[in-house]
Structure 1
Amino acid sequence: MFFDLVNCGVKVEKPKNIFIDCTATYYTGLNTGIQRVVRNIIARVDYIETNFGIKCTPVILKEGQFIPISKEDLLNKKPDPKVLKAKVLLSKILPSKVYFFAKNLYGRLFLFFAKPSIKANPIVPQKGDIILGIDVFWELGLFEAIIKYKKQFGIFFILLIYDIIPLMFPKYYRDQTPKKFKANFKKTDVFDAIVTTSHANVYQIKKLSENEFSGISKKLIDVFSLGSDIKPLTQSVNHNEHIEDIVKNSKIFLMVGTLEPRKNHNFVLDAFEKIWENDLSKKLIIVGRIGWLCENTLKRIKSSKYYNKNLFMFNFLNDEDLSYLYKNAAAVIVASTIEGFGLPLAEAMYYNVPVIASDIDVFREIGGSYPIYFNLSSIDSLVDAINNVKPLADKTQTIKLTTWDDSATQLIDKTLILYNQLRTNSEAFNEKSTDNRH
């Protein structure tokens, strides 16, 4: 449930413009994790404008200033195909440590030298306009630019926080990510309010130390839900023939998510290796780009005697092929030790596919009674869930699924609620200051 300002007839103040930052997604061209959310929201800017009557403009940073782009500029932006092919090849032939060194070096050089080809004048916001940050906020100088725009134009900055895992569990990341995340998030005077994707996130944010994050417990914060429907950005209906061969006459289990420690791939591999000792009828397909601190996991997958027999991995898969796998999966496994939301869980529910999920608070919040939950301290608990999973009766009739249209509506709806609270608080503060002077 959410409070729909559009349809309930509530009188609200609206800004002239909402500028949506999508800098990191534009520069990288990626379509995983945060980037999937950014792309789905930006794809609906026309829908937002029609429903809310507010000019909604995607923007990216260029030389410290925000410039407007079209939604097509973002949605058509892909990683360089030559670079992508090189990554696939190198990931297959190079030792893990060498591959990760080359990948990280390329990433740093790319972001340093990348220059958008788009030629546009910087935006000129009106006082009270909103810059809505829905992308990676701890890279590329976003906060520095926001500080300038707040001083120059008097804008409000509302920040989407997907999770605060880099603060809570820095061990899950390489050194620089938690440091950059923390250094920016500590600047609580830069963002005026927060939107996030679960009530579990709200609880964690509000519990942060006031000594480090001044005023964080008093920050205005609201929750919206991410969408579950996958609508491929291209119109091709052809699927990867190799994937079709794997799926054919097989009972496949699907894991979707970047290879990184908290996604818990090793735990799932332990369970399947135990199963495969006696039962080779089941296959595990891992879909996700190669992330960080996963060198040993990557090596384990590729050196497994089951690799390309019962165990498969795809690091660069498009939405058409991912959708095909969801439709043909016996179950989707989400084994994370901690999450801010859990998009694969929501996407599996959309396809009415059984879900086997780790028993963590946010999955209970998002999935309710839909998943089969397993205990993270017991491999046998996951083995039992895998062995006993059955096709579902149609649960979609009783579960309210959030589409990306719903998600975009909720995001802007909650943004406007926060905007009106900020205006009210600002006006009350100004009135009090005037009274004190008299």
Structure 2
Amino acid sequence: MTRLLVECTYVYENPKANSGIQRVVRNVIRELPTEDLEREYIPVVMLRGKLYEVKSLVPPPEKAWDLVSLRARLEQAANLFWLRHRTLESRRPFSQSAWARRLLYVGCRLFVFGCLSIPIRLLNLLLRRRQVAPRIMPLEHRAGDQLVLLDSSWHADFFPLAEQLKRDGIGIISVVYDLIPLTHPQFCDAGLVKVFNRWFDWIARTADGYIAISTTIRDQLRQEMVRRIGEQQVRERWFDYFYLGSELDQIDPTQAIDPNLLRLFKRPEPVFLMVSTIEPRKNHAYLIDAFERAWAAGSQARLCIVGKIGWKCEALIERIRRHPQLDSRLFMFNNLADQSLEHAYRNATALVFPSYVEGFGLPLVEAMQRGLPAMGSDIEVFREIGGDFMAYFDLDEPQSLADLVTDMEHTGVFPAKRNLDHWQWLSWRQASAQLVERIEGHVNEVIVDRETACG
């Protein structure tokens, strides 16, 4: 029996994380096929040099697991602390004195280390000790198993184990979400660029096949592989893609919708929604520039930004918090639960998504599947996903988005070539099935080729 071992280590260790890749991992794992006499699909994690089968990605409802929430709050506090530090650093006297900036930095480092870093590390140790049972159990691998690296593995420490599994006859397949740290390093933290580059070198040497989340990324991936290891070795690997699903998986009907969000949608003026982590490549500054032009022209449209605060966004956050239209025509929500996000998707006028670069653009399909039209930057992957059902604007000219907003506000007509009534997209069950079917197709081809070569 063929076994696909689907790796989900980061999501297992961080069950509260809810950004794009974590959504993908949870939903694919949840929807893995269950009834198949010829194949078995097993979620796995690699911890402390050992392979485990995952029985549940959801922590048990015990008080001890409040430690997970505490760790998440401490990590968020650390991020916000450094955001404040960078804002303070740009002001007098720190902006005028290198010594003052140095003293500020040392003081902040000591504070974070004592009050946040040490508690976070202790919580990590406690949680690792608690996470052995009953959520996971040891798994014996077999020659012929296929290890699918589905999760965000560039920060992982399991590469020696994966290499040993490969020597034991297990195939390794890497899921690739994007190549942004390689192609657009200016949008990423410098540490991530180094880590991601090392990870890519590792999967280039180690993996037998690669499956991306769009044809755009599949083609970019193959080109980068040719550049790094040469055409001959690339021919020995296989490349494919699958598309992501569209449901929100953490909706809790018993949870109240954010009251400020409810008040926002009770007013009659149109609401344009942006859903994304706040970080440079998402291009929020362009978005605000465009809406400022629309407001200057008399538009009553409102802009609602939804997403956690990320990296390299200190100036942007300061701009939003000091904006004269804040809480009037400009709104920001940094911690919306899925129940509130669902409400926003179902009540907004349109989604606006001005990213410079993406691997897929999950909010696009989440919005459009709910009947919410989407306006996006005119980039290749958005054309692939949205086709004629989306409206596109020029990233070099904020006025192009301002015109789309004001025209829709005045006419009530969304300016796409095709109506969303004809839009159809994959569910997460279909997406998970597509992933495993395409992997199995390539694995079977490799087996047949080897048998033919052996005569």
| Bin for the TM-score computed over the shorter chain | 0.7 to 0.9
Structure 1 counterpart of 2:313: 294
Structure 1 counterpart of 2:377: 358
More off after superposition, 137-146 vs 352-361: 137-146
Superposition TM-score, scaled by structure 2 size? 0.82
Q: 2:166 aligns with which of 128, 150, 154?
A: 150
Structure 1 counterpart of 2:175: 160
The 5 A counterparts of 1:14-413 are 15=2, 17-29=3-15, 30-45=17-32, 48-50=33-35, 54-73=39-58, 80-84=68-72, 96-97=84-85, 109=121, 113=125, 115=128, 117-119=131-133, 120-152=136-168, 154-187=169-202, 188-208=204-224, 210=226, 212-214=228-230, 215-216=233-234, 218-236=236-254, 238-249=256-267, 250-279=269-298, 281-389=300-408, 390=412, 395-413=419-437
Q: Distance in 2 between matches of 1:106 and 1:212?
A: 39
Q: Secondary structure, in 3 states, of the residue corresponding to 1:19?
A: strand
Kindly provide the amino acid, as one letter, of the partner of residue 68 in structure 1: E
How much has 1:323 moved relative to structure 2? Answer: 0.7
* Structure number, greater radius of gyration: 2
Q: Structure 1 pair 227/121, CA: closer, same or farther in 2 (3 Å)?
A: closer
Superposition TM-score, scaled by structure 1 size? 0.85
Asked if 1 retains the 8 angstrom alpha-carbon contact of 2:299 and 2:406, the reply is: no
More off after superposition, 225-234 vs 319-328: 225-234
More off after superposition, 413-422 vs 116-125: 116-125
Count of paired positions: 414
How much has 1:374 moved relative to structure 2? Answer: 0.3
Gaps of 5+ in 2: 88-107
Q: Structure 1 pair 209/148, CA: closer, same or farther in 2 (3 Å)?
A: closer
Q: Structure 1 pair 211/229, CA: closer, same or farther in 2 (3 Å)?
A: closer
Q: Secondary structure, in 3 states, of the residue corresponding to 1:296?
A: helix
How much has 1:78 moved relative to structure 2? Answer: 8.9
Asked if 1 retains the 8 angstrom alpha-carbon contact of 2:47 and 2:158, the reply is: no
Structure 2 counterpart of 1:5: none
Kindly provide the amino acid, as one letter, of the partner of residue 356 in structure 2: T
Q: Distance in 2 between matches of 1:247 and 1:314?
A: 14
Q: Secondary structure, in 3 states, of the residue corresponding to 1:369?
A: helix
> What is the Cα-based RMSD across aligned positions, in Å?
3.0
